[in-house]
Structures are given as C-alpha cells and as structure tokens.
Amino acid sequence: MNILANDGLSNSGINALKDAGFNVITDKVEQANLIEYINANSVEVILVRSATQVRKDIIDQCSSLKIIGRGGVGMDNIDVDYARDKGILVINTPAASSQSVAELVMAHLFNISRFVYDSNRNMPTEGNTSFKLLKKKYAKGSELRGKTLGVIGFGRIGQFTAKYALGNGMNLVAFDPFLPEVTLSIDIADKKVDITIKTTDLETLLKNSDYISMHVPMPADKKPIISKPEFDLMKEGVKIVNAARGGVIDEDDLIEAVNNGKVGAVALDVFVGEPQPRLDVLSLQNTSLTPHIGAATTEAQDRIGTELAEKIIDFYQK
C-alpha cells in the first residue's frame, strides 16, 4: 500500500510505517500533477504539511484515498469537512509542535528586546567601520524580566509560551474566551510547580501588556483579531510576536502602527499570502522575521512523524 508524504516526513515516521509494511514515497509531486500521480500509484494515504493543498478536486478525483494526514496543527490547506463527508479519515498532530513554536516565540522576544535582528543585518557590512555607532544604535535594549506578556489564545502553544515567560520572570496576562482559567504545570529541575492563571478580557490584556504574543487559530470569518482599534488600546512601544497565522493581525494596520511608533518592534513567523508575503511587510522597520519555521525542529518533526505513523497503523489494523 502506497503512502505519499508530499511535504516530507521524519525518518522516525518513515521507519515506523516501513516496519509496518507500508511503502512510503517521499518524492515531491507538483500540485498540478498530484491527481494523476495518486491515481497512477493507487495512493491510499497522502501526508502533507502546509505546502500541499488537498482540495475538493483531489478528493473528488482520487477514489483510492483513505487518509489525509497533516503533520502539524492548522488544516487550512485541506478541505477537511468535504473529505470527511466523503468518508476519508483526516488526521493531524496538534500537540507535537507546541513546545517548538513556544521556543521560537521566546527567541523572537529576546531578539526584539535587544535589536539582534537589526544588528545581524548591519554588523557584517558596518561592524568594521562603524562599531561605535552601531553600539550606540542598539544601546537602549530592555530586559524581559519584570515585563508583562499578553498571550492571546491560551491553548497548547499559548500555555507553553506562558511557561517559558514565567520561567524568565515575566508577568502574564492571557485572553481566551473559551478558557476562564488554566493551571500550568512547570517542571523546574526536579520540582513541579503549578500556577493557576485566570484569563482576562482582551481590553485589559491590550492595555497592560509590554509584549503581546498571538496564539489563536484563524477565525472562521477570517477577520483579524488585531487591527486598528486594538492597536489603539495598546501601550506606546508595545512589542508583538505573531507565530499563529498571518491574517490574525491586520497587516495594513500593523505597518501603520510600526511606522508611527505605536508598536516598538514586531516579530513575524507567519504572513498573509504565504509563500509570497507582502514586500512592504518584509521590509518593515523594527521587525524580526522567520519563514514559518515555528514547528521546524528535529524534535517536533520526529514527534509529528511518529504520531502520524501510529494513527495510520492503527487505522489499518482495525
């Protein structure tokens, strides 16, 4: 039985599937050729990350498909309900990458607090001739300790991020309309510390946060969670990280808020229009950028591969 892992799969996943007797194809098939390829090879399972789209056309025209698997969380590249209505099992691995995304958020928080993104751009070209000028340019950094982080969306990744933030001495406010309170279990050395966080309303979070990190899914109506009215409530110079989905912050309003100084710095891992984000977003001042790599660690990919393999093996054993 053929499994097409079109956006790649970790060795842990490939080996588990091979050991169970499946044939795993890891060649990248172009989107335009997918239907023909799946039919020619009687592919029963297609595994994707965020690049490959599994839309109605594939679901309708590829009758061999039994499982569509997404390595990761968001399934906006798959017509999930349509596939399920047609009797296809749709699986994902929601928890496997939460820790990795939270660590990237922390990397960006430290980065934007000390201008590391800008220093890295300028040191190779100006460090030899303008060292003192650059030193002065990056002299007004700030510490994370003692500052307040506002977490918008207090699910898996929001909670992991909160644990790191608390561990670094930050204060925490969280907004999640579906979770009134969450108890975080933090492992420090050989001790476990439980901290209960009561979530707050969005306005309180926006008014009180020195840093804000987005951890919400894309709303069904695709309306941004943060646009001008929300920026207006924030502290002057607030720093923002978005490693959730591009559209959860209105990019036009973000550009305006960065350019007029309301937002002191922003870090973006996700963009509207991926894989071709807007150039005016990419060239924005005071911005730390990564190309949607939140889940891109060896550890997360191993967990994703193993979890997908387990679910596929389980399906075929039933």
Q: Is 75 a binder of ligand NAD (CB under 6 A)?
A: no
**From candidates 164, 175, 211, 231, binder to ligand NAD by CB under 6 A:** 175
- Contact by Cβ (8 Å): 246, 219: no
- Contact by Cβ (8 Å): 165, 195: no
**Shortest distance, position 1 Cβ to ligand NAD, whole Å:** 29
Task: Identify which range of 70-78, 79-87, 275-283, 302-310 contacts ligand NAD by CB under 6 A.
Answer: 70-78
Q: Is 108 a binder of ligand NAD (CB under 6 A)?
A: no
DSSP character string of 140-162: ----STTPEEEEES-SHHHHHHH
Nearer to ligand NAD, 153 or 264 (CB): 153
Single out the residue of 140, 161, 142, 143 nearest to residue 152, CA to CA: 161
- Contact by Cβ (8 Å): 44, 66: yes
Nearer to ligand NAD, 234 or 244 (CB): 244
Q: Is 48 a binder of ligand NAD (CB under 6 A)?
A: no
**From candidates 5, 258, 295, 312, binder to ligand NAD by CB under 6 A:** 295
**From candidates 6, 12, 97, 111, binder to ligand NAD by CB under 6 A:** 97
Catalytic residues: 245, 274, 292
**From candidates 172, 216, 254, 309, binder to ligand NAD by CB under 6 A:** 216
* Alpha-helical segments (H) within the chain: 11-19, 34-40, 56-61, 80-85, 98-113, 116-126, 131-137, 156-167, 202-208, 228-233, 251-259, 279-282, 298-317
- Contact by Cβ (8 Å): 287, 266: yes
Biggest CA–CA distance in the chain, Å, is 68
State which residue has the least CB distance to ligand NAD.
155
Q: Is 213 a binder of ligand NAD (CB under 6 A)?
A: no
**From candidates 65, 78, 109, 157, binder to ligand NAD by CB under 6 A:** 157
Q: Is 292 a binder of ligand NAD (CB under 6 A)?
A: yes
Single out the residue of 5, 160, 153 nearest to residue 96, CA to CA: 160
- Contact by Cβ (8 Å): 170, 145: yes
**Binding-site ranges for ligand NAD (CB under 6 A):** 72-74, 94, 97-98, 101, 152-158, 175-179, 215-217, 219, 225, 243-245, 269-270, 292, 294-295
